[in-house]
C-alpha cells in the first residue's frame, strides 16, 4: 500500500479516492441538469 505522503508529494497525481469522489459529484451534477 502506498503511503499518503508519497501520493501527495506527486502534484501530478491525485489520490484515487479523490478522483472517485469527483467522478461521483460530476455524475450527480449532470444527472440533475
- Looking at residue 33, its pLDDT comes to 76
Q: Strand, coil or helix: what is 33? A: coil
- Looking at residue 28, its pLDDT comes to 93
- Looking at residue 11, its pLDDT comes to 55
Question: What is the rounded CA–CA span in Å between residue 14 and residue 21?
Answer: 11
Question: What is the rounded CA–CA span in Å between residue 17 and residue 32?
Answer: 23
**Is the Cβ–Cβ distance between 24 and 17 less than 8 Å?**
no
Alpha helices in 1-33, H assignment, sequence order? 4-9, 16-32
pTM, two decimals, is 0.44
**Is the Cβ–Cβ distance between 25 and 14 less than 8 Å?**
no
- Tell me the average confidence (pLDDT) per consecutive run of 10 residues in the chain, 33 residues long: 53 74 92 83
Amino acid at each position: 500500500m502506498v503511503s499518503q505522503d508519497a501520493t501527495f508529494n506527486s502534484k501530478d497525481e491525485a489520490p484515487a479516492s479523490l478522483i472517485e469522489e469527483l467522478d461521483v459529484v460530476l455524475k450527480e451534477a449532470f444527472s440533475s441538469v
